[in-house]
Amino acid sequence: MNVLSDMNVGDSGVLEGLDLPESVQNHLMHMGFVPEAQVSVLRRAPAGDPTVYGVDGMEIALRRETAAAIRMHPHDAESEHDADPVPPPDETIPELFEAMR
């Protein structure tokens, strides 16, 4: 997957950059299309254009020609796991339970 328009319904990826005129870039960035944003393909019109994308809790419909100018890379589940690690268990919790008895 290199551009947003190549993604299928149900796919998600991470936005790399926008290859669009500055005015269009600014408009899309205000709606959440910023580098490193996770974008998912929600649904496509019966004729195939436009497509509805989910980004930052919003649903945004884009034409194929606009989506073709948005560079993407695959969503890396491993880096997401590393970015939000589970904290180690607190060793004082068993002591607190003992104190409550």
Phi, psi of 85, rounded to the nearest 5 degrees: -70, 155
Supply the pLDDT for residue 94. 57
pLDDT digits (tens, 9 = 90+) for 16-61: 999 999 999 999 999 999 999 999 999 999 998 999 999 988 999 9
Q: Looking at the chain, how many residues does it have?
A: 101
What's the confidence (pLDDT) of residue 75? Answer: 76
Average pLDDT for 2-29:
94
Residues 6+ apart with CB under 8 A from 37: 14, 15, 55, 56
Out of 2.30.30.90, 2.60.40.10, 3.90.79.10, 3.40.50.300, select the CATH number for domain 4-79.
2.30.30.90
According to the model, what pLDDT value does residue 89 have?
52
Q: Are 67 and 55 in contact (CB under 8 A)?
A: no
The confidence score (pLDDT) of residue 79 equals: 47
pLDDT tens, 60-75? 999 999 999 999 998 7
Q: Is 39 exposed, middle or buried (CB count within 10 Å of its CB: 0-12, 13-18, 19+)?
A: buried
